[in-house]
Amino acid sequence: MGKLAGKVAIITGAAQGMGAAHAKLFVSEGAQVVITDVKQAEGEQLAAALGPDKALFIKQDVASAADWEHVVAATKAQFGQIDILVNNAGITFAKPLQEISEADYIKIFQINQLGTFLGLKAVAKEMVAQHAGSIINVSSLNGLVGGAVGYTDTKFAVRGMTKAAALELAPSGVRVNSIHPGVIETPMISQAGTAEAVKQFAKAIPLRRIAEPEEVSQMVLFLASDDSSYSTGSEFVVDGGMSAQ
């Protein structure tokens, strides 16, 4: 029996990259998953590959409260409950401070920070009612140490939001933790303008390599499962040793 047998999970930003890796591992461990993303074709393809009895794709803007209401309702209608939320959706950009526009800043705030808040709020009622649940907020190494303005700001906020929510929800049996990946091989880090910087950055990683998404998924699985039953309000780092320097 898998570690997530009988569990239902919502994973945002799961059409590709880390989110897709999480979804695949969760299904292999017995969970039913709701995959959300703005990338409809990729999300539908992944859900179909995982199987209609195991996965459902919903197109979602995580910065929309109405979309969150729809995702929660559709998840309950399809699978009956919500046991796990992985707030994985996020964006970044490679711009120096003086080149970041107000529109840039608002967009990264809406997806990385507001989206996480709305997800927390949307599932909390369901989890509190059942006196159980695990919420995993994907922050970043840059939620622990400095990095690019905009991205770092939101990832520190996710870390703080996690602790505040964990304290509030703990008496109801709901756990909230943050995960802090370092440099992971995903489409987000290979976007225009970042590839060369990432290549150079990898040389400074103590383990001397960029991680694969599946390595982060194993930590997410731990936090989603009962293996982490006494962990809440904490940071779990998957960064190849970067934050230890």
d(CA 57, CA 34): 6
Exposed / middle / buried, residue 137 (Cβ in 10 Å: 0-12, 13-18, 19+)? buried
DSSP three-state, residue 179: strand
> Residue 107 has which token pair?
């967009």
> Residue 60 has which token pair?
């979602």
For the question of residue 151 being annotated catalytic, the response is: yes
Nearest to 209 by CA among 197, 218, 199, 217: 199
Alpha carbons within 13 A on the beta-carbon side of 193: 5
Fill in the DSSP letter of residue 235. Answer: E
Mapping DSSP onto H, E and C, the string for 118-155 reads HHHHHHHHHHHHHCCEEEEEECCHHHCCCCCCCHHHHH
Spatial neighbors of 91 by CB under 8 A, at least 6 apart, are 107, 108, 111, 112, 188
DSSP three-state, residue 86: strand
- The catalytically annotated residue of 151, 166, 182, 242 is 151
d(CA 162, CA 232): 9
Task: Provide the greatest CA pair distance for the chain.
Answer: 53
Name the residues annotated as catalytic: 151
